Each structure stands twice: as C-alpha cells, then as structure tokens.
Chain A
Amino acid sequence: MSAEIARVEGRDLEAMRLYETAIRAAQESGSARHEAIANELAAGFYLQHAVARAGRACLEQARDSYLRWGALTKAKHLDAKIEELRARAPRPGSEPSLLDRLDLSSVVKATTAISTGLAPENLFETLMRILVEHAGADRGLLLVERAGAWHVRAEATAADSAVEVRVLDRAATGADLPLSALQYTTQVRRPLLLDDARLAADHPADLRQLRSRPRSLLCVPLVKQEMLAGVVYLENTMAADAFPPERIALLEVLGSQAAVALENARLYAELEEENRERRKAEEELRESECRWRNLFATAAVSLWQLDFSDVEQRLDQLRSQGVHDFGSYFAGHPEFAREAVGLVKIIDVNEATLELLGARSKQELKPDAILLPETMAAYGEQIVALAERRTPFNAETALRSLTGERIDVLLSMSVPPQPAKLDDVLVAFVDLRERKATEEALLRAREELARVTRVSTVGELAASIAHEINQPLAAMASYAGAALLWLQRAPPDVERARDTVERTIREGEHAAEIVSRVRALVKKAPPRTEPVEINELILEVLDLTGNEVKRNRISLRTRLSADDPVVRGDRIQLQQVLLNLILNAVEAMSEPGISSSELSISSRMEGANEVLVEVRDSGRGLQAGTVERIFDPFFTTRPDGMGMGLSISRSIVIAHGGRLWATPNEPRGAVFQFALPAVEPDPYPKG
C-alpha cells in the first residue's frame, strides 16, 4: 500500500523500494496471492516508467504467483501482457539500452542506498557509482551548489570494468565540465544532451578548457518539487550518442530521487553538525558547570548562591504600591532591610564560607546569627542594587561568625540583568581582616615614623635643650649658694636667704617645665583631641626654639591674633608642625651669605571659621619647580635632611582638617602657612 501511495505521490525510488519490500514480505509470509498482487503492481510501476525488463520480470513473477494461488484467468491475462512486452523488446545485438544495463536489482540497490539515511559522502559515492555504472558513462560528476557556487562533490571514473569514485569538495571549473552546459541545465532545469561537435560549434572555448575529450555529454538536473538539489554530469569519450533518450528518462527518475536524497543528506549533515554543536555545547556547558562547581567549592573567597525571588516579589509589591525610588524608600524604612534580608534563601555556600563563619552547614547561617545590626544599612544598599539591577555591587561591611567574632568583609555581587530572575545570584564575601591588619600596621608604622622623626628633630635640638635646662640649674646652684652664704652670716640674713631660696624654687619649676615639654615632644602620645590655643602653642614652641633663633642671630617678630583663636586637635602633633616650620626657617637663614635674617610668626583669624598661622623667613627661599615637591616624602634640599618633616607636617595638618602650603616671600625667603578650622574656646578650661 505504501508503495502505491509513494507511486501516486511520485516518490518513484521509494516506491520501487517499497514494492520490493512488499514482494519480499509476501514471499516470506507464504501468501501467493499477496506476492502476485505486489509483483503486478510493481510491474505496472516499472512499465509506466518505461523500465520494460524490470516490469516484465515483475509480471512473470506475478503470473507464477497467480498460478500457485490458482488464479488462472489472471495468470493468462498476464501471459498475454508478457508476450506483448517480449515482442517490443529490442533485438539482441543492437545497442544495449539503459533498460538492459540497469537491471532491477541494481535499481533496487540504488533505491535502498539512496533512500536510507546515509551520510552525504556515502550517498555521493553510491549514487555516482550506480549512475556511471549503469548509464554507460566513463566519467561522471556530482555537483552541488553551495553559497552561490557549484562544487564538485564526487567524481566517478570508469576504468576497465570497475568504477572508481572519489568524494571531494572543490569549486567546479571549466576543466571539469562545460560551464555553459551547467548554466543551461541549472537555469532550464531539464537534462541537456550534447555531443562534442555541437559543443565545439556553440561553445568552442568550453570544449578547449575541458580536461577530457568527451564525445557525448549529459547534464541532468536533480530536481525535486521545483528545488534544484544538484546536477549530475556524465560523459562518454567513445561514442557520440552514448546517452539515448530512455536512459535520460531513467536518469531523471533517479535524479529526482537523488535530489530528495541530497536534500535529506544536506539536512542530515546539518542535523549532524547541529548535533555535534549541541553535543559540544552541552559538553562545554557540563565542563563549565563542572569547572564552576569546582571553583565555587574550592574558592578561597566565601561564595554564596542566593535566591532573592521572595525579595523580588516583595519589591514588585512595593512597585505596585508606587515605590520607585528604592534608595529613598529604604532610607525612610530602615526596618525593610531587615525584612528583605529575612526573605533571602540560601541555595548553597562553599567551604570557604563555612570556614569563615565557623559553621558546619549552611543551615546554621541564619540572618540573626551572622548579621550585625550595625551593618544592616549595607545589606539594605544591596537590596536597592538588586531592585535597580545595579551591577556590580560592592560594599564594605561586616559579618558575625558563629563564635561572635566580627569579620570585616567586602561584599561583591553581580546582579543578573533584566529579565533574568533573581533566583540564583552569586554573592562573594572577601575577608578584609588581613587587609585591615595591614592598614593598621601601616598606620602604626607611620606613627612610629612620625615619632622617630620627632625624636630625631629633638635629637638635633638635644644640645640646645641641654643648654635650656642647664641655665636654670646653674641659676639654682648659684641661688642656693647665695642663700647658704646669707645664712652663714652673723647674724644670718634670713630675709635675703628666704628671697634667694624662693628664687631657687622658681628656677626649679622652670627647669621642670622644660623637662616635661621635652618629654611631651618625645613621648609617643596617642592622637588626642583637645582645644588648643594657637597663640599659646606658638609661644611654647618659640620657647623651645628661642635659643636656636638667637644663636643664629635671627631677629624674631611675632604678631599673634588678639582673638586668641582655638583649634581642636593633638597639641603635641601641632607643636611638631610648628617646630618643623620654625626649624626649617632657621636652617634656611643660617646659611652663609644670608644677611639680615628675620623670622616672623603670626596668627590670625581668616573669616569666622579658620585660624591661619604663618611662618615667614628671609632665607634662601624656595627654588622654582620644587615648591610642589617639598611636601613629598623624602624630598629634601638639605644634604643631611631626611625629607620627612614637611611631609609629616602636612599629613598632620590635613588630619586636623586643615591645609599647609608654601609661597615665596618678598623680597626673598619663604612663607609657610597652615590653616586649621577654628572652634569656640573651651568654656571650662582645665586648671
């Protein structure tokens, strides 16, 4: 039945194959009746297609089957038909027709080969072998169009009795076949039969280009339902009329089947390719999934796969209530962050996470256990980032380990863009404790350096300070000696003795003050914030440096603000700044060749909120090009300088919310100024 349907529908080769299948099935079942019918139908098909010998063979089979079955009338009827066919058959000795050469079994073989799903290469080979073998060609090409160009996909050559087929893939050229013939066939979509004489007359150039010297040429389009699937080119170098019309007709039949097969092959190839690609993609996906899993599991960073679906739902709810600016909504509803965090579901966490938080399983990682109340704002920010699909989102925050330890972390999240769901978001936490520790170590090192610099500055001043202390000590010794002498008098002059003793005590206090001031300079005092009277600070530092100033014969002028400005900060650090600036000024003016050295120190209010302190010298001044660099660490113009003084001074001033800068003085020298924020004087001064 399906063979008949195939016939009606014009699927000839398939019909042939199906007839054959039906016949074989009938034989196997032992049903003579079915075998007879199958054979008769097959014969009808072949005769319809002018394949007389195959048709006659089928009819003979059908007749025999009918006889076996007992349908004598039917058998007789078929006998008459067979006789008729036999009479019409060409006489032996005449040129063998295609029919003679294309026996039934070959056709069936071809049909089967073509119709069963073969890889293109096998199909090309089979098709060409059958066509060349049975068409009486000594060379044949299978041409397939691809991307607008014709390609030779198979070349068959008959040598002696064997046919050799090579499967190839190269662009067709004029050496393969006459391109004019190919063009005609593809345009008209009908077979073209030529002999060499005709070709020489119409397209002499084509003939010259050919590698072979064919006498007969045949181009058959492989057309199926208006679709050109390929072209078969056959040639015969022996005879000018090697391809008679009936042979062409059969080739057309085979050709249309071949077209379907080729199309199938193409689809098959595409499918194969697609399969391969899909397999490859799947494999890659599996691999990447595997890699990702591996990375996830073994990463040193804490990784979380989180499901924010419920959060998203809640956010959608808010949106439907008219909330669009989540940033300000969160600011106004701090409790929402807590609620949203509670809606987050943990899909998975890696080992590093459990290790970081000291947990045994992800079940232990409840928000209440691992989140600190003071960090809730950061997690709120994260929810806002999710709502706005802002990616990547990074925030410095903290987690709490299950043992209660605060862990400073960097939260890093990449939010999938719309319209992806938020049901699998990867969040990473980087442990910042180590970094924090490094930062703290750096800070300590900086403090230490500042202290060392302070000490070395003091070291330079040590001799001078010793002088400072020795003066009151010398005075004390003298006063004490005098007091003793007054008391040794007869009678003792108690009044004078008391006076000198009092002076001794005062000088003792003076010496103690100096000592404590030095100690304060050297002491590693933690930064303190206290109200500092700038004028007092200036006088203290001048007290310490006074001797240096005098020794270098520098005339000192002070103009201190009558407002008694107060700043807030670390008195010792601010002393350090001023000490540095004054010593630098002294140094700049102590060079040979500097006459009339004048150091001027002033303080004044700049507006209502700023205190300005100015240290003006008449020294060698600032060299052009170095003004900006003098504040750089390790930059120095002195051969014995460390280059840290101004750098540290500026850091201190900046740490106090102020600024420090330098300008040239007129007519020479430099002006260093620093400005600090002024505060209200302390209403309850100590002491």
Chain B
Amino acid sequence: MPLLWPLPENLTISIVDDDPAVRDALWRLMDSAGLAATAFSSAEEFLASPSRDETTCLILDVRMPGMNGLELQRHLVASNWKVPIIFMSAHAEAGVRERALQAGAVEFFEKPFNSAALLDAIDAARVGRAPGAPGK
C-alpha cells in the first residue's frame, strides 16, 4: 500500500525499492525532511500507480525482481517521462552506473549512502530542473 503524504509544494518523491527496510527508511527520511513521498516495492507497482504522474523526483533501486531499475528508466524515457531519477544500488556492477547516467539519471548512489547527500541531490534536482510533469 503506497504511503501518501500531503505535498507542501505540490511535489511528490517516489521511491522504488524491493527491500522493505530500505523502502521504509527512505520514506521516513523524506518525511523528516518535510518531503512528501510514496514508496513502491517494484517497478510494476509504480507504473500501475496514479502517483506516477504526480512524481517530481524518482529514487530508484537498480536490482529488483521483475523489471529492474534500468529497464524502468528506459521505459519512462521511451514514454518521454522527464522527471529526474536518482539511482541507488547495493550491488556495484560494472557499467551500470554509466548506463544509468547516460540515460539521463541525475545521480547514482551506492548503498549505503549519506542521507544528507541524497537530500541535497533531491533538492538540486528540484531546483535545477523543471518539476516532473506527465510527458506528452
């Protein structure tokens, strides 16, 4: 069940990670920072959710059962979805970081990462780029 939070600036952070602890921790970090966030346990769940179109920043895990982070990114880019994506991975595989950044990711964090750095990256993405909007 995705967690919803009223958005102060009408923004929503979406978190996609299959690990329940990471999911929960990230959601609480966003909460403590005053950011509204929704957490999803898989790419499929995220795609099927109405939150997809309200998302202003996507925090995405790479390795997941089913559709993985890179596949989701490819899918979103293909559908002209321009919301900034911050990647994170617990499993540094050669080439993954490069592929993610090349495909337009704003940041790639290796787990574990500094929570302040993540919040900074979210902030930078929000300021530097246009808020996420349905790609048409």
Contacts and interface: CB of A to CB of B under 8 A. Distances in A.
Contacts of B90: 466-468, 470-471, 474
A473 B32 contact: no
Contacts of A472: 21
Contacts of B26: 478
Interface in A193-250: none
A467 B91 contact: yes
A561 to B, nearest CB: 27
Given A474-B113, A478-B22, A551-B63, A483 B32 contact: yes
A109 interface: no
Chain A contact residues, majority secondary structure: helix
Nearest to A471: B19
Contacts of A463: 91
Nearest to B68: A551
A478 B33 CA distance: 11
Given A467-B90, A467-B91, A510-B21, A473 B111 contact: yes
Interface string B23-43: 011101101110000000000
B3 to A, nearest CB: 14
B65 A477 contact: no
Interface in B74-122: 88, 90-91, 110-116, 118-119
Given A471-B111, A473-B111, A551-B65, A481 B29 contact: yes
- In this complex, the member of A467, A468, A503 whose beta carbon has the largest number of chain B beta carbons within 10 angstroms is A467
Interface residues of A, number: 30
A484 B114 CA distance: 12
A472 B24 CA distance: 11
B28 A474 contact: no
B24 A474 contact: no
Contacts of B19: 471, 475
A477 B88 CA distance: 13
B83 to A, nearest CB: 21
Interface in A476-505: 476-486, 496, 500, 503
A481 B119 contact: yes
Contacts of B22: 471, 474-475, 478
Given A467-B90, A470-B91, A503-B28, A482 B66 contact: no
Contacts of A467: 63, 90-91
B34 to A, nearest CB: 8
A468 B118 CA distance: 21
Given A474-B22, A474-B25, A474-B88, A496 B115 contact: no
B71 to A, nearest CB: 12
- In this complex, the member of B19, B31, B32, B90 whose beta carbon has the largest number of chain A beta carbons within 10 angstroms is B32
Contact of B29 (A464, A466, A468, A479): A479
Interface of B: 18-19, 21-22, 24-26, 28-29, 31-33, 63, 65-66, 88, 90-91, 110-116, 118-119
23 contacts: A464-B91, A470-B90, A470-B111, A472-B21, A473-B112, A474-B22, A474-B90, A474-B111, A475-B24, A476-B25, A477-B112, A477-B114, A477-B115, A479-B29, A480-B115, A482-B33, A482-B115, A483-B32, A484-B115, A500-B28, A503-B24, A551-B65, A553-B65
Among all A-B residue pairs, the 5 with the closest Cβ atoms: A481-B115, A478-B25, A470-B90, A485-B32, A474-B111
